[in-house]
Amino acid sequence: MARTRNRRRKRKHDASYKKIFAHRRTIGDLLRGFAGKLARHLDFSTLERLPASFVTEHLGQRHADMLWKIQTANGGWLYLLILLEFQSTIDYDMALRMLDYTVRVLQGLGSDERGPGGKYPPLLPVVIYNGEGRWTAAADTGELFASMPDELLGYRPRHQYLLLDLRALDPTVLPPENVVSLIAMLEQARSQGQLEKLGASLADWLLRVGETRLLDSFVAWITQVLARTDAAGRTLELRTRSEEERTMSTLAERVRKWGDELNQQWLEKGERQMVSRLAARRFGPGIAEQLSPLLDKLSDPDSIAAVAAMVFECENGADFIARAHEV
C-alpha cells in the first residue's frame, strides 16, 4: 500500500516538474545557457513544441518526454528531443537509447519536413538528470563498444547527447537570469533558508519578466515537493527512506533529511509566506495585508494551494480577495 502511494506521489512530482520544461522560456534558456555557441545560429521567436501525438506517432510506445523545433539562421529547422531522467539508477545504455529515439523521429519526418534534396534536419538530443549521484553513463555510443581494429572504427555507430546533470552544475558559473540555472540551484538547496531565498528571487524575476504561467508551474512543483499526502493528511516526511523506496531523486529527498528543522507547522507557515509574497508582488502590499488574516485561518494545505493558484487566475486584487474569502 505504501509503495503504491509512493509511486502515485512520484508521478505527481514528475508531472509538475515536466510542466516547467513545457514552457518556451525554459527551453530557450536551456539553449542559450547550456548548448555552447549554438544559440547564435537560432531564431528563438520560432521555438515551437510539437504535440504529444507527434511524439507518440514517431516513437510508438518508446518513452520520450517532449520534442521541440526551432528555426536556424539558414532557414532550416533544428529538432530538440528532451528526455527528463528522474530515476536514481543510471541507465548505462542511454546513448544507445537516445540514438534509437533520434532515428525514429527522423524516419517519421515527412518529405515536407526535410531540407533541400530531402536531407534530414539536425536533431539535438538532451538528457536532463536530477538524481542524487553523479551521472556516469557514456554520452557517446562509441564508448559502448569493445576495442576493435582501426579498420572497423569507421563502422562503429557514433551519436552523442547533451547531458545536463543539474546537481553537478557549478552554481558559481551558472548563467544569470536563466530558468535552468534556477532549477539547478533549487535542486542543490541544502537548507530551509536557502530554499526560501531562492524561491523569493525566482518569484521576483519571473514576475518582472512577465512569466506568470511559468511561475505557476514552479509553485506547483515546489508545493508537490514539500507537501506530502498520507492517510493522516498532508505531512512532511522527516525520516530517510530505505534504498528500495528512494526512487525519486529530487529536492524532496533533501527536504526529508532536514529532520527536526522542518515540521508540519513550518510547512503551513512556509506555504502561507510564499502565497503572501506572490500576492504582494502581483497586486501590491495592501492586498497582501488583507490576505494575511485569511491565510491564518487556513490549516489545510490544499486550501492554501488553492489560494496560491488564484494569484495567477485573478485579474485584480479585489477579485483575488473576494475569492480568497470563499475559500
Task: Check residue 233 and give its pLDDT.
Answer: 29
With 70 as the cut, is the pLDDT of residue 82 above it? yes
Q: What's the pTM?
A: 0.68
Task: Check residue 30 and give its pLDDT.
Answer: 96
| Least confident among 147-151, 159-163, 175-179, 232-236 | 232-236
With 80 as the cut, is the pLDDT of residue 120 above it? yes
CA–CA distance, 268 with 254 (Å, rounded to integer)? 18
With 50 as the cut, is the pLDDT of residue 198 above it? yes
Per-domain residue ranges of the chain: 2-168, 189-326
Instruction: Give yes or no for a contact between 104 and 59, defined as CB atoms under 8 angstroms apart.
Output: yes
With 90 as the cut, is the pLDDT of residue 87 above it? no
Task: Check residue 99 and give its pLDDT.
Answer: 93
Task: Check residue 232 and give its pLDDT.
Answer: 28
With 90 as the cut, is the pLDDT of residue 37 above it? yes
Place of cell 529547422: 77
The more confidently predicted of residues 165 and 207 is 165
- Work out the average pLDDT over 158-185: 92
**59 pLDDT band (50/70/90 cuts)?**
low
Task: Check residue 187 and give its pLDDT.
Answer: 84
DSSP conformational letter for 135: P
For 222-254, what is each residue's pLDDT tens digit? 766 654 433 322 333 332 233 323 333 344 444
| Least confident among 21-30, 65-74, 152-161, 212-221 | 212-221
| Least confident among 109-113, 120-124, 292-296, 304-308 | 304-308
DSSP string, 141-179: GGGGSPP--HHHHTTS---B-EEEEGGGS-TTSSPSS-H
Nearest partner of 76 among 125, 53, 109, judged by Cα? 109
Task: Check residue 58 and give its pLDDT.
Answer: 64
Task: Check residue 272 and give its pLDDT.
Answer: 73
Report which residue type is found at 320.
Answer: F
For 266-296, what is each residue's pLDDT tens digit? 445 556 777 787 788 778 888 888 888 888 8
With 90 as the cut, is the pLDDT of residue 44 above it? yes
